Structure 1
Amino acid sequence: MDRIGVVDTMFACIDMGSIAERRLSELEGYGERFEVVRRTVPGFKDLAVAARRLIERDGCAIVVACGMPGGADLDEMCAHEASQGIMMAQVLTGTHILEVFVHMREESDPDKFATLCHNRVADHALNAYRMLYAPEELRKRAGQGIRQGGEDVGPLAVR
């Protein structure tokens, strides 16, 4: 049985890991073809190590790494550093880690922010599943301006 890892943080104001778990549990093959392994860490700078451990120690075929940078400039800088750590973990393991960051600066309305967060996490969880079991579904969407969590921008006309 395959394993899909989900790692989230205590720092986030929304339980992002549960959103990912719930979305994955709705998909074909859950419990038979794949299972979800979840870990929670204090903050987003801890995500890279946790994701690497999910891959190397727990045998996860792919990981969804969820984080929520705060609104301060320092938080944005730390998010960039955390992102680089996640990229390094991908290279070191040769395994995809889908970074799902929802920046608190993206939306000031709490209800809209919660919707954005839910949609982005659920969309990336579905992408993780598709990367393992339905890569042709991703290919169909290539160049379509699809956004995770927000409105799609659509493709540009090529002349």
Structure 2
Amino acid sequence: MMRKYGVADTTFSRVDMGSIAIKTINKEDSDAEILRYTVPGIKDLPVAAKKLIEEGCNGVITLGWVGKTMLDKYSYLAASIGLITVQILTSTHVIDVTVHEDEADSEEKLKQIAIDRASKHAKNLVLLVKEGKNALTPYAGKGLRQGYNNAGPID
């Protein structure tokens, strides 16, 4: 069975995380079909994810960028609720990947966070789509992080 992945990203992002996710998915699942849908901003991601699922995607990764203002944070909250709603309505994983401009003090650090987060979450999506609901169970409680070094478990 051909697995189909959706990649939804935004023009507001300052790093092309969509291309990073696609490269990672292709590496992890060479038989995959990938559909990409680019929208202006994070509040457009829920409908993009839903349309990708309607086009047959077995899972979707959304990649957004959140500015520094309170308005940006409220916009992210609205988008996040929309993405959760899409997951509930479709019973399909939508992995929400965002970079917040205020989580680093340099553009280079933001770029590294974006690359790390997009690639690690793309791997998570592939595991969930290929192997199902127990695919990530061996990693539970390990303190794994996306965008930063792993925190590690507390023994």
TM-score, normalized by the shorter chain, greater than 0.5 = yes
TM-score, with structure 1 as normaliser? 0.92
- Report the residue type matching 1:2 in the other structure: R
How many pairs does the alignment contain? 153
Residue 134 of structure 1: CA displacement?
3.6
The one-character-per-residue Cα deviations of 1:87-118 (angstroms, maximum 9, x if unpaired) are 00110111010000111111111111101110
Match of 1:38, SS state, is: strand
Unaligned runs of 5+ in 1: none
Which residue of the partner structure matches residue 115 of structure 2? 118
Which residue of the partner structure matches residue 79 of structure 1? 76
Which residue of the partner structure matches residue 46 of structure 1? 44
Among all aligned residue pairs of Structure 1 and Structure 2, give the percentage whose two residues are the same amino acid.
39
Q: Which segments of structure 1 move beyond 3 Å, counting only runs of 4 or more? A: 134-137
TM-score, with structure 2 as normaliser? 0.94
Choose from 80, 98, 109 the match for 1:101: 98
Which residue of the partner structure matches residue 143 of structure 1? 141
Residues 130 and 59 (structure 1 numbering): CA distance in 2 closer, same or farther, change over 3 Å?
same
Residue 137 of structure 1: CA displacement?
4.8
More off after superposition, 74-83 vs 129-138: 129-138
Match of 2:36, SS state, is: strand
CA–CA separation in structure 2 for the residues paired with 1:5 and 1:106: 26
